[in-house]
Chain A
Amino acid sequence: MTAPISSFTPGVLAHSDAARVGFAPRCARFSLRARGDLAPLEAALGLSLPTRIGQRVTAGERQLLCLGPDEWVLHAPERDGAAITAACAGVYADHPHSLVDISGREVSFVIDGPRGAELLTLGCARDLDSIAVGEGRRTLFDGATVILWRDGDTSFRLDCWNSFATHLFHLLDTGVRELAAESL
């Protein structure tokens, strides 16, 4: 039986000797789409917009990941959300863009442990080695579109939509126990 999403609290949800799955605290999330001259937006947000897909930029507690040629996702502390919205609204007249608050749409799992990367291969068809540490990509995980942030060699964050969270956690939870049961 899959656990309801309301039962997830920030902290470790499942762990074994092989890997650990945690639930990240809530944060402000934005989807940003813009074309043309990005300088006004960069000035408003206080960070440079990376143009290579998968590239990530961190400024203070704001993290920005390039998802497509004109698409980025921005994570920031919840208290910073209003400031980001206001800053982008300020340049909207001269530089039209789309900034959508998707904080309520997604949750993040934190995956780490010695075999964290192997755990992700259960649901992800792409070669995880092609995502360098400090980068991220949008990809498919067990049928759901997710954003994978690679924070370390075996440490990842996985953003997914609320409605897929329980399904994905069920697979990750099984995987955590399965990897530990395997004799190497």
Chain B
Amino acid sequence: MLLIHCPYCNETLPEVEFAYASEAHIARPAKPSDVSDEDWAEFLFMRSNVKGPLYERWRHIHGCGRFFNAVRDTVTDKFLTTYKAGDPRPDLSSLTEGLK
């Protein structure tokens, strides 16, 4: 079982308390009516699907209930970091430095 650090509870807790909530840092267009169908489809459906570190959202649904962001390596399933929703995206090179 994965252990995930919740930045709101400030505790590292079992994976079963959490729910995955798709890729992070995808901003909804401010005026959806101005967006072309292609761009809207891009926003709705297209995700980066990276092999390696992925910025993604998680929710501590069976705990504090909060959404937060995480960087997880999709190959190894290792969490590189977690941070509060709204915080800036952490620099990837500083996160992967220790792994090399």
Contacts and interface: CB of A to CB of B under 8 A. Distances in A.
Interface of A: 53-54, 67-69, 71, 125-126, 130, 137-140, 145
A145 B62 contact: yes
B64 A67 contact: yes
A137 B63 contact: yes
A126 B66 contact: no
Contact of B9 (A53, A125, A140, A145): A53
B17 A140 contact: yes
B11 interface: yes
A140 B8 contact: no
Contacts of A140: 16-17, 62
A130 B66 CA distance: 20
A137 B6 CA distance: 13
Nearest to B61: A145
Contact of A68 (B11, B14, B16, B64): B64
Interface residues of B, number: 15
B82 to A, nearest CB: 15
Interface of B: 1, 8-11, 13-14, 16-17, 61-66
Nearest to A138: B63
Contacts of A54: 9
A69 B64 contact: yes
A129 B65 CA distance: 21
A138 B13 contact: no
A53 B66 CA distance: 12
19 contacts: A53-B8, A53-B9, A53-B63, A67-B64, A68-B8, A68-B63, A68-B64, A68-B65, A68-B66, A71-B64, A71-B65, A126-B13, A126-B14, A138-B62, A138-B64, A139-B17, A139-B62, A139-B63, A140-B17
A138 B62 CA distance: 6
Contacts of A67: 64-65
A68 B59 CA distance: 12
Nearest to B14: A125
Q: Which 6 residue pairs of A and B lie closest in terms of their CB atoms, listed nearest first?
A: A68-B64, A125-B14, A140-B62, A53-B9, A145-B62, A68-B65
